[in-house]
C-alpha cells in the first residue's frame, strides 16, 4: 500500500508535496520521494524512511518547479531495504517520465520479460512499478508522432497499457514539459481522486490517493477518478479526461475502509469514518447474539483504527467504553512494518496498558482486523498483565484467510493466522477467553450502507475471490 500525489500549480510545489506526503504518511513508512519539473528538467529526492527523514531543507531547495509528483511507500513487490526502489521512478525516453504507483501488478513477471524481448527495455529493479512505467513509456513512444504530444495520444497509450497490464494500479505520471497524468485500473481497486483550488494566478489541480490530502492542502474535492479512467492536466491548467477501458467496474479494496485509509477520508463516495461506525454496529449485533453482555464490564479499542467501531459497539450494547491502551504516536503502524520480527518487537513499544482500566475487569477488546495475530497475541497478554480478569476479543473484520495480491502485504497464506485454523484455534493462538469475528456479509453491508454507490468490493483476503480473474492457485 502506498500514497501518491500529483500537482499542477501556479507557484512552487515542493512544500505542497511535502505537506501532502505528511497527510498520507499512514499509507507507507518505508520510503518517500518527490519529483518536480521545471521546463523539461526533473529534480528528484527520494530515499528510505519517513517523510521527515528523507527531506531536509537543502533537499527542498533543490526541488524547484510548478508541477510534480510524490510518493510514500511500503513494499508489496520488491525489497523493503532497497533504496533504488523508492519512488518516483524515472525513465528518459520518450519525453522524460516520472511515475508514482499505488497497487500491485499480477503479471509483472510476464511484462518484464516482454519488455526485454519485444520492447528492448531494461528493468533495473524488482519493482513492478518500474515495469508499469516502462509499459507506459513504450506505448507513448509507439503512439506519439515525432516530438509532439497531445491528450488523445496520451489516452491512447493508457488504453493500450490497460490491455497489457493486470492487477491493481492508481498512478500519477509527469511528462516533462507537458503536464501530469493520473489513471486507475479498470476494476477501481486502489483509490485516487482529484481536487482544485482557485488562485489569483489561475486554477491549481491536485491528484491524491485520499481526499484528506486535498482538504489538508486547501483544495476542493471534485471527484474520484473512475475505474479505467485517465485524466491529464497540462502545464497551462487545462483539464482533460477519458475513459480508457472498454469494460470497467467499481470494486474498491475493502481493506481501505477497514484499516488503511484515514477515517477523515471519503473514498468512492463512502466516508471511511461512517463505514467504521457501521462495522461497529453490525459487530454489536453479532456480540449480542453470541455472548451474554452481562459478562462484559468494559469495551476498549486497540488504537487507533478500531476506535469508531468500538465506540459504536459499546453504545449499541449499552456498555462502558474506555481507553485502556495509550499509543506512542512515534512508532509506526505495525502491520505495515517490513518483517515479522520488527512488527512483533514494535507492539509493546507502540502500546501501553493502563492497569487502572483493566484490573479485575472482564474486558472486550475491539480491533479492526486480525492479520498475522502478532499484535493481537501481544495485546491480550498485555491486558492480562495489567490485571484483566477475562479478555474477550472482537474483530470488526472477518477472518483473513487468503493472500492479497493487489497491494497489501499479505503475500503468503502461512503468515495469516486464520489460514487453516478454526475460530476456536485462533482464539487459543492469541490467548483470548473468547473471540468473535464480523461476518463477510455484515462487513460488506456495513460499507454499502455507509455509501450506496459502492456495492461490489475487492475482498479477496476475506472471501478468496480475485476480481481481475487472472490469479491462479499456482500464482498464490
Binned average pLDDT, 10 residues per bin, the chain of 476 residues: 96 98 96 97 97 96 98 71 85 96 95 89 92 96 90 98 97 98 98 97 98 98 98 98 97 97 98 98 96 93 96 97 91 56 69 96 98 92 97 98 88 86 97 98 97 94 95 84
Cα distance between residue 368 and residue 385, in whole Å: 23
The CA distance from 20 to 26, in Å, is 12
The whole-angstrom separation of Cα 114 and Cα 71 is 27
The pLDDT value given to residue 472: 87
Q: Is 37 a catalytic residue?
A: no
- Cell numbers at 247, concatenated: 469494460
Q: Is 452 exposed, middle or buried (0-12, 13-18, 19+ CB in 10 A)?
A: exposed
| CA neighbor of 67 nearest in space, from 83, 49, 102, 43 | 43
- What's the Cα-to-Cα distance from 14 to each of 8, 9, 55, 66, 217, rounded to whole Å? 11, 11, 10, 8, 13
Distances (CA, A) of 169 to 3, 226, 239, 430, 467: 11, 12, 21, 34, 13
State in Å, rounded, how far the first CA of the chain is from the last one: 18
pTM (global) more than 0.85 = yes
> Hey, how many other C-beta atoms are within 10 angstroms of the C-beta on 406?
29
Cα Dmax for the chain: 76
Buried b (16+ CB within 10 A) or exposed e, 325-358: beeeeeebbbbbbeeeeebbebbeebbebeeebb
Quick one: pLDDT at residue 362? 98
Contact (Cβ atoms closer than 8 angstroms) between residue 31 and residue 85: yes
pLDDT at 77: 52
- The two beta strands, 89-91 and 67-73, are unpaired
Measured CA to CA, the distance from residue 173 to residue 101 in angstroms comes to 9
* Residues 162, 164, 169, 172, CA torsion sign: negative
* Helices 374-385 and 423-430, packing angle to 10 deg: 50
- Strands of 268-412, DSSP E: 270-271, 298-301, 320-321, 325-327, 351-353, 362-367, 390-395
Amino acid at each position: 500500500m502506498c500514497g501518491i500525489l500529483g500537482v499542477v500549480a501556479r507557484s512552487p510545489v515542493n512544500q505542497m508535496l511535502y505537506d501532502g506526503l505528511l497527510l498520507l504518511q499512514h499509507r507507507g513508512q518505508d520510503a518517500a520521494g518527490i519529483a518536480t519539473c521545471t521546463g523539461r528538467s526533473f529534480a528528484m529526492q527520494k530515499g528510505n524512511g519517513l517523510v521527515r527523514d528523507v527531506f531536509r531543507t537543502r533537499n527542498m531547495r533543490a526541488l524547484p518547479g510548478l508541477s510534480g509528483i510524490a510518493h510514500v511507500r511500503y513494499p508489496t513487490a520488491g525489497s523493503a531495504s532497497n533504496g533504488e526502489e523508492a519512488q518516483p521512478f524515472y525513465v528518459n525516453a520518450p519525453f522524460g517520465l516520472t511515475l508514482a504507483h499505488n497497487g500491485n501488478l499480477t503479471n509483472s513477471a510476464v511484462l518484464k520479460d516482454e519488455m526485454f524481448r519485444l520492447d528492448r527495455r531494461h528493468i533495473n529493479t524488482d519493482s513492478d512499478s518500474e515495469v508499469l512505467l516502462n509499459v507506459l513509456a513504450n506505448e507513448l513512444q509507439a503512439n506519439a508522432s515525432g516530438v509532439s504530444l497531445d491528450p488523445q495520444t496520451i489516452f491512447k497509450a493508457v488504453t493500450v497499457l490497460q490491455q497489457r497490464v493486470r492487477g491493481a494500479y492508481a498512478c500519477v505520471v509527469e511528462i516533462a514539459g507537458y503536464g501530469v497524468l493520473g489513471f486507475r485500473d479498470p476494476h477501481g481497486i486502489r483509490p485516487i481522486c482529484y481536487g482544485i483550488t482557485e488562485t489569483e494566478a489561475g486554477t491549481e489541480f491536485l491528484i491524491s490517493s485520499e481526499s484528506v490530502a486535498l482538504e489538508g492542502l486547501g483544495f476542493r474535492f471534485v471527484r474520484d477518478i473512475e475505474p479505467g479512467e485517465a485524466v491529464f492536466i497540462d502545464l497551462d491548467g487545462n483539464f482533460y479526461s477519458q475513459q480508457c477501458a472498454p469494460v470497467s467496474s467499481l470494486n474498491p479494496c475493502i481493506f481501505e475502509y477497514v484499516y488503511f485509509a484515514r477515517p477523515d477520508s471519503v473514498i468512492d463516495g463512502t466516508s471511511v469514518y461512517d463505514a467504521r461506525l457501521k462495522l461497529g454496529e453490525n459487530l454489536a449485533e453479532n456480540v449480542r447474539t453470541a455472548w451474554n453482555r452481562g459478562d462484559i464490564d468494559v469495551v476498549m479499542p486497540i488504537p487507533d483504527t478500531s476506535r469508531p467501531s468500538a465506540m459504536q459497539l459499546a453504545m449499541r450494547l449499552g456498555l462502558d467504553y474506555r481507553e485502556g491502551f495509550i499509543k506512542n504516536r512515534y512508532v509506526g503502524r505495525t502491520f505495515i512494518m517490513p518483517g515479522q520480527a520488527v512488527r512483533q518487537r514494535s507492539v509493546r513499544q507502540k502500546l501501553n496498558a493502563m492497569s487502572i482500566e483493566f484490573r479485575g475487569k472482564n474486558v472486550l477488546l475491539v480491533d479492526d482486523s486480525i492479520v498475522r495475530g502478532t499484535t493481537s497475541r501481544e495485546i491480550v497478554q498485555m491486558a492480562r498483565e495489567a490485571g484483566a480478569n477475562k479478555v474477550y476479543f472482537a474483530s470488526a473484520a472477518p477472518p483473513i484467510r487468503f493472500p492479497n495480491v493487489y497491494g497489501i502485504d499479505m503475500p503468503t497464506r502461512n503468515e495469516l493466522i486464520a489460514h487453516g485454523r478454526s475460530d476456536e484455534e485462533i482464539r487459543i493462538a492469541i490467548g483470548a477467553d473468547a473471540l468473535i469475528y464480523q461476518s463477510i456479509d455484515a462487513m460488506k453491508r456495513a460499507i454499502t450502507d455507509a455509501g450506496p454507490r459502492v456495492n461490489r468490493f475487492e475482498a479477496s483476503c476475506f472471501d478468496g475471490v480475485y476480481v481481475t480473474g487472472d490469479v491462479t492457485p499456482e500464482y498464490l
